[in-house]
Amino acid sequence: MSSIFASFEKRVIVEIDGGQHNEYEARERDEERTAWLKERGYQVLRFWNNEVLMNMEGVLEGIRQALE
């Protein structure tokens, strides 16, 4: 399962993924969705659950930079 957050004003989408997104079919779907969103002007940021838990500061910095 993923958690998804979006800023329509900044056209940024943040997706936090669990390990199931590392499976082939899930990666394919994610890549297709990302391409679709990019075609519509969105920037997609993806982080793994463990990345959020172990490096929250780094994740927040990545989001901050995308919003500038």
Q: Note the pTM of the prediction, 2 decimals.
A: 0.81
| pLDDT of res. 12 | 96
Task: Count the domains in the chain.
Answer: 1
- Spatial separation of the C-alpha atoms in residues 12 and 67, rounded to whole Å: 7
> Could you tell me the residue range of the domain that residue 43 belongs to?
2-67
Per DSSP, the residues of 21-50 read: GGSHHHHHHHHHHHHHHHHTT-EEEEEEHH
| pLDDT of res. 21 | 52
- Spatial separation of the C-alpha atoms in residues 43 and 25, rounded to whole Å: 22
**pLDDT tens digits for range 1-36:** 678 899 999 999 999 987 565 666 878 888 999 999
- Spatial separation of the C-alpha atoms in residues 59 and 68, rounded to whole Å: 15
Element (H, E) at 65: helix 56-67
